[in-house]
Amino acid sequence: MRLVGGAVFADLLRALTPYRDDVVFVGGWVQALYVLELEGAGARVVRTSDIDLTISPTLEAGERPPLIDLLRAGGFKVDAYDGERGFEISKDDVDIDLLTEGPNPGEAVRIDGQPDLRVCGYPHQALLRENTRYILVGSEVDESLETPVEILIPTLPAYVMGKLLSSTRRSQRAKQAKDLAYVSELMARDDLRDRIVADLPPLLREYPNERELADQCLRSALNDDHLLSDVATQIIESSGFHVADDTPVRAQIKSRLTRLLTEGWDEAPGS
Protein backbone atom coordinates (compact mmCIF):
# COMPACT_ATOMS: atom_id res chain seq x y z
CA MET A 1 0.00 0.00 0.00
CA ARG A 2 1.42 3.37 -1.00
CA LEU A 3 1.68 5.68 1.98
CA VAL A 4 -0.08 9.00 1.51
CA GLY A 5 2.43 11.80 1.96
CA GLY A 6 5.48 9.56 1.99
CA ALA A 7 7.49 11.90 -0.25
CA VAL A 8 6.62 14.87 1.97
CA PHE A 9 7.59 12.89 5.05
CA ALA A 10 10.97 12.18 3.47
CA ASP A 11 11.40 15.87 2.57
CA LEU A 12 10.58 16.80 6.17
CA LEU A 13 13.23 14.44 7.54
CA ARG A 14 15.84 15.98 5.27
CA ALA A 15 14.81 19.54 6.12
CA LEU A 16 14.97 18.92 9.87
CA THR A 17 18.28 17.04 9.87
CA PRO A 18 19.99 19.48 12.31
CA TYR A 19 17.09 19.06 14.75
CA ARG A 20 16.49 15.34 14.26
CA ASP A 21 17.34 14.57 17.90
CA ASP A 22 15.08 17.37 19.17
CA VAL A 23 11.78 16.57 17.48
CA VAL A 24 9.48 13.65 18.26
CA PHE A 25 6.96 12.46 15.67
CA VAL A 26 3.66 11.84 17.44
CA GLY A 27 0.74 11.58 15.02
CA GLY A 28 -0.76 8.87 12.87
CA TRP A 29 2.55 8.32 11.13
CA VAL A 30 3.85 6.67 14.31
CA GLN A 31 1.23 3.92 13.97
CA ALA A 32 2.31 3.42 10.38
CA LEU A 33 6.01 3.28 11.26
CA TYR A 34 5.46 0.66 13.97
CA VAL A 35 3.45 -1.53 11.59
CA LEU A 36 5.97 -1.08 8.78
CA GLU A 37 8.83 -1.96 11.12
CA LEU A 38 7.04 -5.19 12.00
CA GLU A 39 5.58 -6.20 8.64
CA GLY A 40 7.67 -4.38 6.03
CA ALA A 41 6.69 -2.42 2.95
CA GLY A 42 3.16 -3.04 1.77
CA ALA A 43 1.72 -3.40 5.26
CA ARG A 44 -1.82 -2.11 5.75
CA VAL A 45 -2.00 0.95 7.99
CA VAL A 46 -4.65 3.48 8.92
CA ARG A 47 -3.88 6.44 6.73
CA THR A 48 -3.24 9.95 7.99
CA SER A 49 -3.37 13.17 6.00
CA ASP A 50 -0.93 15.22 8.07
CA ILE A 51 2.37 14.92 9.94
CA ASP A 52 2.56 15.82 13.63
CA LEU A 53 5.69 16.41 15.65
CA THR A 54 6.27 17.77 19.13
CA ILE A 55 9.16 19.85 20.46
CA SER A 56 10.24 21.18 23.83
CA PRO A 57 9.03 24.66 24.85
CA THR A 58 12.76 25.52 24.95
CA LEU A 59 14.74 24.63 21.84
CA GLU A 60 18.01 26.51 21.51
CA ALA A 61 19.12 26.98 17.92
CA GLY A 62 22.78 27.42 18.85
CA GLU A 63 24.76 27.48 15.62
CA ARG A 64 21.94 25.83 13.71
CA PRO A 65 19.60 27.76 11.42
CA PRO A 66 16.17 28.42 12.98
CA LEU A 67 13.85 25.47 12.54
CA ILE A 68 11.29 27.48 10.59
CA ASP A 69 13.99 28.68 8.15
CA LEU A 70 14.99 25.08 7.45
CA LEU A 71 11.39 24.25 6.58
CA ARG A 72 11.19 27.15 4.16
CA ALA A 73 14.51 26.14 2.59
CA GLY A 74 13.14 22.59 2.22
CA GLY A 75 10.29 23.83 0.05
CA PHE A 76 7.61 23.89 2.71
CA LYS A 77 4.99 26.62 2.63
CA VAL A 78 5.14 28.51 5.93
CA ASP A 79 2.48 31.14 6.64
CA ALA A 80 1.83 32.93 9.91
CA TYR A 81 -1.82 33.08 10.96
CA ASP A 82 -1.18 36.46 12.58
CA GLY A 83 1.18 38.03 15.12
CA GLU A 84 -0.01 35.89 18.02
CA ARG A 85 -0.97 32.47 16.74
CA GLY A 86 1.15 29.74 15.20
CA PHE A 87 2.07 28.94 11.61
CA GLU A 88 0.42 27.05 8.80
CA ILE A 89 3.03 24.67 7.37
CA SER A 90 2.36 22.43 4.39
CA LYS A 91 3.72 20.87 1.24
CA ASP A 92 1.79 19.21 -1.58
CA ASP A 93 -1.45 19.42 0.43
CA VAL A 94 0.10 17.65 3.44
CA ASP A 95 -0.11 19.70 6.64
CA ILE A 96 2.76 19.74 9.13
CA ASP A 97 1.60 20.36 12.71
CA LEU A 98 4.20 21.58 15.22
CA LEU A 99 3.15 20.95 18.82
CA THR A 100 4.47 21.55 22.32
CA GLU A 101 3.26 21.36 25.89
CA GLY A 102 0.42 23.77 26.65
CA PRO A 103 -2.63 23.74 28.94
CA ASN A 104 -5.12 25.01 26.35
CA PRO A 105 -5.47 22.86 23.21
CA GLY A 106 -4.58 24.80 20.10
CA GLU A 107 -3.36 27.92 21.87
CA ALA A 108 -0.07 29.25 20.50
CA VAL A 109 3.08 28.78 22.60
CA ARG A 110 6.29 30.68 21.88
CA ILE A 111 9.35 28.44 21.70
CA ASP A 112 12.31 29.82 23.63
CA GLY A 113 15.54 29.70 21.62
CA GLN A 114 13.80 29.92 18.23
CA PRO A 115 13.24 33.40 16.74
CA ASP A 116 9.51 34.18 16.88
CA LEU A 117 8.50 30.52 16.54
CA ARG A 118 4.97 29.88 17.77
CA VAL A 119 3.47 26.39 17.77
CA CYS A 120 0.23 24.83 18.98
CA GLY A 121 0.15 23.91 22.63
CA TYR A 122 -1.53 20.70 23.78
CA PRO A 123 -1.57 18.88 27.13
CA HIS A 124 0.44 15.69 27.73
CA GLN A 125 3.15 16.40 25.17
CA ALA A 126 5.80 15.94 27.87
CA LEU A 127 4.74 12.31 28.30
CA LEU A 128 5.42 11.73 24.61
CA ARG A 129 8.79 13.49 24.66
CA GLU A 130 9.96 11.79 27.86
CA ASN A 131 9.31 8.26 26.59
CA THR A 132 10.92 7.83 23.19
CA ARG A 133 12.92 5.48 21.03
CA TYR A 134 14.70 5.73 17.71
CA ILE A 135 13.27 4.02 14.65
CA LEU A 136 14.82 3.60 11.22
CA VAL A 137 12.90 5.13 8.33
CA GLY A 138 13.81 4.15 4.79
CA SER A 139 12.53 3.16 1.38
CA GLU A 140 9.39 1.55 2.84
CA VAL A 141 8.22 5.14 3.40
CA ASP A 142 9.62 6.72 0.24
CA GLU A 143 12.03 5.52 -2.44
CA SER A 144 14.19 8.62 -2.01
CA LEU A 145 15.24 7.39 1.44
CA GLU A 146 17.74 4.90 0.06
CA THR A 147 19.85 5.27 3.20
CA PRO A 148 17.60 4.83 6.26
CA VAL A 149 17.63 7.59 8.85
CA GLU A 150 16.84 7.47 12.56
CA ILE A 151 14.04 9.58 14.01
CA LEU A 152 12.48 9.80 17.45
CA ILE A 153 8.99 8.45 18.12
CA PRO A 154 7.17 7.67 21.39
CA THR A 155 7.52 4.18 22.80
CA LEU A 156 4.54 1.96 22.08
CA PRO A 157 2.86 2.40 25.50
CA ALA A 158 3.49 6.17 25.46
CA TYR A 159 2.01 6.45 21.98
CA VAL A 160 -1.07 4.47 22.97
CA MET A 161 -1.49 6.67 26.04
CA GLY A 162 -1.06 9.78 23.89
CA LYS A 163 -3.74 8.68 21.44
CA LEU A 164 -6.19 7.88 24.23
CA LEU A 165 -5.53 11.25 25.86
CA SER A 166 -5.88 13.20 22.62
CA SER A 167 -9.09 11.34 21.85
CA THR A 168 -10.65 12.71 25.04
CA ARG A 169 -10.11 16.29 23.85
CA ARG A 170 -11.20 16.00 20.24
CA SER A 171 -13.96 18.36 19.14
CA GLN A 172 -14.37 16.45 15.86
CA ARG A 173 -15.77 12.95 16.20
CA ALA A 174 -13.91 11.69 13.13
CA LYS A 175 -10.57 12.62 14.69
CA GLN A 176 -11.59 11.03 17.98
CA ALA A 177 -12.41 7.84 16.10
CA LYS A 178 -9.11 7.92 14.19
CA ASP A 179 -7.13 8.13 17.44
CA LEU A 180 -8.85 4.96 18.61
CA ALA A 181 -8.40 3.34 15.20
CA TYR A 182 -4.62 3.77 15.55
CA VAL A 183 -4.74 2.07 18.95
CA SER A 184 -6.93 -0.74 17.66
CA GLU A 185 -4.62 -1.43 14.72
CA LEU A 186 -1.57 -1.65 16.97
CA MET A 187 -3.44 -4.03 19.28
CA ALA A 188 -4.38 -6.15 16.25
CA ARG A 189 -0.74 -7.27 15.81
CA ASP A 190 0.26 -9.94 18.33
CA ASP A 191 3.86 -8.75 18.69
CA LEU A 192 2.91 -5.11 19.13
CA ARG A 193 0.04 -5.96 21.48
CA ASP A 194 2.28 -8.06 23.71
CA ARG A 195 4.79 -5.21 23.97
CA ILE A 196 2.04 -2.67 24.73
CA VAL A 197 0.39 -4.61 27.54
CA ALA A 198 3.74 -5.63 29.04
CA ASP A 199 5.20 -2.11 29.11
CA LEU A 200 2.08 -0.08 29.82
CA PRO A 201 1.62 -0.70 33.58
CA PRO A 202 4.93 0.93 34.65
CA LEU A 203 4.10 3.97 32.52
CA LEU A 204 0.64 4.23 34.07
CA ARG A 205 2.16 4.23 37.53
CA GLU A 206 4.55 7.01 36.53
CA TYR A 207 1.75 9.20 35.16
CA PRO A 208 -1.26 8.69 37.47
CA ASN A 209 -3.23 11.71 36.24
CA GLU A 210 -2.87 10.67 32.63
CA ARG A 211 -3.75 7.11 33.61
CA GLU A 212 -7.08 8.26 35.03
CA LEU A 213 -7.98 10.22 31.90
CA ALA A 214 -6.96 7.38 29.58
CA ASP A 215 -8.94 4.92 31.68
CA GLN A 216 -12.03 7.11 31.35
CA CYS A 217 -11.51 7.34 27.59
CA LEU A 218 -11.29 3.58 27.17
CA ARG A 219 -14.30 2.79 29.33
CA SER A 220 -16.38 5.48 27.62
CA ALA A 221 -15.43 4.23 24.15
CA LEU A 222 -16.30 0.64 25.01
CA ASN A 223 -19.82 1.77 25.91
CA ASP A 224 -20.32 4.01 22.86
CA ASP A 225 -21.55 1.91 19.93
CA HIS A 226 -21.76 4.94 17.65
CA LEU A 227 -18.12 5.83 18.32
CA LEU A 228 -17.03 2.22 17.76
CA SER A 229 -18.89 2.30 14.45
CA ASP A 230 -16.94 5.45 13.51
CA VAL A 231 -13.69 3.69 14.42
CA ALA A 232 -14.71 0.75 12.25
CA THR A 233 -15.37 3.13 9.37
CA GLN A 234 -11.83 4.52 9.66
CA ILE A 235 -10.32 1.03 9.57
CA ILE A 236 -12.53 -0.19 6.73
CA GLU A 237 -11.74 2.86 4.59
CA SER A 238 -8.03 2.31 5.12
CA SER A 239 -8.31 -1.34 4.12
CA GLY A 240 -9.48 -0.45 0.63
CA PHE A 241 -12.19 -3.11 0.78
CA HIS A 242 -15.92 -2.45 0.62
CA VAL A 243 -17.64 -3.82 3.70
CA ALA A 244 -21.42 -3.56 3.82
CA ASP A 245 -21.80 -4.69 7.42
CA ASP A 246 -19.29 -3.35 9.96
CA THR A 247 -20.51 -5.60 12.78
CA PRO A 248 -17.49 -7.98 12.70
CA VAL A 249 -15.05 -5.05 12.57
CA ARG A 250 -16.76 -3.33 15.50
CA ALA A 251 -16.57 -6.59 17.47
CA GLN A 252 -12.83 -6.86 16.76
CA ILE A 253 -12.23 -3.27 17.84
CA LYS A 254 -14.18 -3.75 21.06
CA SER A 255 -12.27 -6.94 21.80
CA ARG A 256 -8.90 -5.22 21.27
CA LEU A 257 -9.76 -2.21 23.43
CA THR A 258 -11.17 -4.48 26.13
CA ARG A 259 -7.97 -6.50 26.10
CA LEU A 260 -5.94 -3.30 26.44
CA LEU A 261 -7.98 -2.33 29.49
CA THR A 262 -7.92 -5.74 31.16
CA GLU A 263 -4.30 -6.64 30.44
CA GLY A 264 -2.57 -3.28 30.13
CA TRP A 265 -4.14 -1.81 33.26
CA ASP A 266 -4.06 -4.91 35.49
CA GLU A 267 -0.93 -3.95 37.44
CA ALA A 268 -1.71 -0.27 37.78
CA PRO A 269 -2.82 1.20 41.13
CA GLY A 270 -6.56 1.42 41.51
CA SER A 271 -7.35 -1.11 38.81
Look at residue 49 in the predicted model and tell me its pLDDT: 85
In this prediction, residue 268 carries a pLDDT of 47
Among 124, 139, 154, give the residue marking a domain's end. 154
Is residue 45, in this structure, part of any structural domain at all?
yes
Residue 271 lies in a domain: no
Query: Are 55 and 84 within one domain?
Result: yes
Among 105, 127, 154, the domain boundary falls at 154
Q: Map 21-84 to HEC letters.
A: CCCEECCHHHHHHHHHHHHCCCCCCCCCCEEEEECCCECCCCCCCCHHHHHHHCCCEEEECCCC
> Residue 269: inside a domain, yes or no?
no
| Domain contains 139 | yes
60, part of any domain: yes
Residues 200 and 167 in one domain: yes
Instruction: Read off the pLDDT of residues 42-85 as tens digits, 9 standing for 90 and up.
Output: 888 998 889 999 999 999 999 999 999 999 999 999 997 665 67
> For 149-167, what is each residue's pLDDT tens digit?
999 999 999 999 999 999 9
CB 133 within 8 A of CB 125: no
Q: What is the pLDDT of residue 177?
A: 95
Q: Is residue 81 part of a domain?
A: yes
CA 265, CA 262: separation in Å to the nearest integer? 6
Q: Tell me the sheet residues that pair with 88.
A: 79
Do 73 and 183 belong together in one domain?
A: no
> Where is the domain boundary, 125, 154, 183?
154
Number of domains the chain contains: 2
Please check whether residues 105 and 196 belong to one and the same domain: no
pLDDT at 9: 97
Domain residue limits at 82: 6-154
Looking at the fold, whether 63 and 102 belong to one and the same domain comes out as yes
Q: Which residues of the chain have pLDDT under 70?
A: 1-2, 81-84, 266-271
One domain for residues 54 and 20: yes
Residue 239, CA distances (Å) to 27, 33, 101, 242, 247 in order: 19, 17, 34, 8, 16
**185 in the same domain as 129:** no
In a domain, 1, yes or no: no
Assess if residue 270 is contained within a domain: no
